[in-house]
Amino acid sequence: MHKVDILVTSEIKGGLSTFQHGEMQIRFHRFESGQEIPLLEGSIWAFVDWQSTSMPGIEICRQIRCAPETSSARIVMILEDDDKNILRRALLAGADDYIVGPVDRNRLLDRILLRPSDLQDPSPLNLTVLGELKVDLAAFRATWAGKPIPLTPSELKLLRFFAQHPDRVFTRNQLIAALGKHERPLDPRTVDVWIGRLRRGLRKAGAGDLLRTVRSLGYVFDHP
């Protein structure tokens, strides 16, 4: 399944619920300057309102472009009118394109669905390899240096996510979102159980202690 994440800096008419289109899943995220960047798994688009209330749109644009998690995002600036001077400033700040507002949910979706060349899946394969670690979702199998790692479905998906994002700290809520646990509220402490089992599985396979707890923040998977 191809995933697309959309960051929006203002409320949009039609809401922010997930949109499913065949094999494509598009998720909306409300984003304001200074807040934690939400968990992003697919192609990233950012629709930045030039007149954002939290911070000038040009500054938000710079933040999105400079953050490692969103540096590759396609940034579309939402302008009040077709002002060439403002457009030039937006492009210099890192925007890729612009659209004249007002906008709503359907208009943003149309903009994305009509530009298939801009949709690049960062992880199209089921197989993820990181050093001696291999995680194959299609075969439902994880190995370290060829030795199987016994894992449950949730633990396997969690290991794959960590392997795709090494050396980055994730909160419990971000890890829950990474596993697609959206259908019902889930106690964030459940993540601690997954982590404990995952650690035991890695140690048993000879991988050692690759999963670290970062106090008051979450967990990080060190590049082996």
Position 206 scores a pLDDT of 93
Residue 87 has pLDDT above 70, yes or no: yes
Q: Specify the CATH number for the domain of residue 183.
A: 1.10.10.10
Domain that holds residue 179: 127-221
Q: Angle 190-204/153-164 helices, nearest 10 degrees?
A: 80
Q: How confident is the model at residue 40 (pLDDT cuts 50, 70, 90)?
A: confident
The strand pairing partners of 79, in sequence order, are 100
Residues 113 and 72 in one domain: yes
Q: How confident is the model at residue 121 (pLDDT cuts 50, 70, 90)?
A: very low
Last residue of a domain, one of 118, 137, 165: 118
Whole-angstrom distance, CA of residue 213 vs CA of residue 36: 19
- Rounded to 5°, angle at Cα 44 from 37 and 157: 75
pTM over 0.85: no
Last residue of a domain, one of 68, 95, 118: 118
Residues 102 and 15 in one domain: yes
Residue 13 has pLDDT above 50, yes or no: yes
- Tally of structural domains, the chain: 2
Q: Specify the CATH number for the domain of residue 9.
A: 3.40.50.2300
